[in-house]
Amino acid sequence: MTRFHTRPLLTRGPFRPPSSVTGAPRPSRAWGRRGAAVVLVAALCALPGCGIRLGQGSPASLPSASQAEADRDALARHSVLIASTAQVVVASGDQSQRASAQVVADAAAVQLEALGGVWEPWATPVPTTYPTATPVATAVATATTQDLATALGDGVSAARDAASRAPSAQDARLYASLATAWSLQLRRISPQSVEVTGRDTTQMDEPVAGELLVTYDAARYAMEEVGARGDEAARARAVIDAAAARAVVSASLALGGQDTRLSAYGRPEGQGADDDAWAQEVWMTVMDTELAGVGPAGGQATTTSIDAAVAAGSRAQSWGAVVDAPLPGYDPGA
């Protein structure tokens, strides 16, 4: 006898009219676009060489930073280390360096902000399985003034290198300003750690800019005036400083530079008969002008400007100036 296997009847649910009739919401077009985007990403990531795999806990590696970003991040990390080391020195009770260390700590906070902070690889919080950047180094609890000097010295080297290859003028000036500030802070804490060279006029192969030349000539004039009226110690220092300024002016003119010299230079207003203040002013102006003239990817020209700025700042310090600007000669809007 033949057996027939009957199929079960297909059951249907209750009739549901179209949403246009019931007023029920339809899936949004935005969701449809997002869904399509997910499908597209999934399709692309299925191709060979894609570094991201959907469904895995983390990407294979950190986003890569450009050389410019890496330089900025390295300097930001130096700022953090310098600040934390200075704070430990302040808290250590070393009264001989406490005030100087506090200046360094305060300046580092401004410098870190100007640098934009330490690089964060992810724009938003990510799972702990994601790779992350190297933790930022900070000072140990027993850090000393020598540790602070070491941190400043390392920062100077890094800032000089970054300034010489920075692709933009603004970055180059920021890094040159950092190198100068850290050099002058280091000179205050550990004078023997800083070699002050200035511009080597025997190595100059092109004239300085007209604006810079006039600041050197103003310094030369002020030093001659101050030396003529000062005591023996002031006269000796003024003679050395005047000779240094005169050498730059003469070398620049010999190379065909624009002669922007004036016949005389007035004492800065509001300083009365204070020759020391005049000397401080002219050398700080030289420092700021040297740094303002730094350009992008300047190489040796940039490091020469940094050396000259440090020398000018050091001369201002020798005349009693408190050169503690966090970013000397730097104008973020320039």
pLDDT in tens, 147-162: 999 999 999 999 999 9
Same-domain pairing of 205 and 189:
no
Q: Whole domain around residue 241: which residue ranges?
A: 201-318
**Residue 84: C-alpha distances to residues 91, 142, 184, 205 (Å):** 11, 11, 19, 42
**Residue 6: C-alpha distances to residues 1, 10, 78, 209, 233 (Å):** 15, 12, 82, 101, 120
Same-domain pairing of 225 and 281:
yes
The torsion region of residue 113 among left (phi > 0), alpha (psi -120 to 50) and beta comes to alpha
CATH code, domain with 164: 1.20.1260.10
Q: Exposed, middle or buried, 258 (CB in 10 Å: 0-12/13-18/19+)?
A: middle
Same-domain pairing of 185 and 296:
no
Same-domain pairing of 127 and 145:
yes
Same-domain pairing of 103 and 207:
no
Where does a domain end: 164, 193, 222?
A: 193
Inter-residue contact 327 to 203 (CB < 8 Å):
no
The first and second tokens of residue 231, run together, are 């005591």
Q: Exposed, middle or buried, 261 (CB in 10 Å: 0-12/13-18/19+)?
A: middle
Q: Is residue 139 part of a domain?
A: yes
Same-domain pairing of 185 and 211:
no
Q: Is residue 228 part of a domain?
A: yes
Where does a domain end: 168, 193, 218?
A: 193
Question: Which is nearest to 163 in space by CA: 333, 37, 329?
Answer: 329
**C-alpha to C-alpha distance for 149 and 147, rounded to whole angstroms:** 5
Sequence-ordered alpha helix ranges (H) in the chain: 19-22, 29-45, 67-91, 95-115, 145-165, 169-189, 210-229, 232-254, 275-292, 300-318
Q: Is residue 120 part of a domain?
A: yes
Same-domain pairing of 186 and 205:
no
Same-domain pairing of 151 and 217:
no
Same-domain pairing of 148 and 253:
no
Q: Is residue 47 part of a domain?
A: no
Same-domain pairing of 183 and 213:
no
CATH code, domain with 213: 1.20.1260
**C-alpha to C-alpha distance for 94 and 330, rounded to whole angstroms:** 32
**Residue 312: C-alpha distances to residues 183, 201, 215, 237, 329 (Å):** 12, 15, 11, 13, 12
Give the Cβ contact number of residue 312 at 10 Å. Answer: 33
The tens place of each residue's pLDDT in the chain, 334 residues long, gives 333 333 333 333 333 333 333 333 333 333 333 333 333 233 323 334 443 333 344 555 777 778 999 999 999 999 999 999 999 999 987 788 899 999 999 999 999 999 999 887 777 777 777 777 788 889 999 999 999 999 999 999 999 999 999 999 999 999 999 999 999 999 999 999 999 999 999 999 999 999 999 999 999 999 999 999 999 999 999 999 999 999 999 999 999 999 999 987 888 776 555 899 999 999 999 999 999 999 999 999 999 999 999 999 999 999 999 999 999 999 988 7
Q: Is residue 176 part of a domain?
A: yes
Q: How many domains does the chain have?
A: 2
Q: Is residue 32 part of a domain?
A: no
Same-domain pairing of 166 and 215:
no
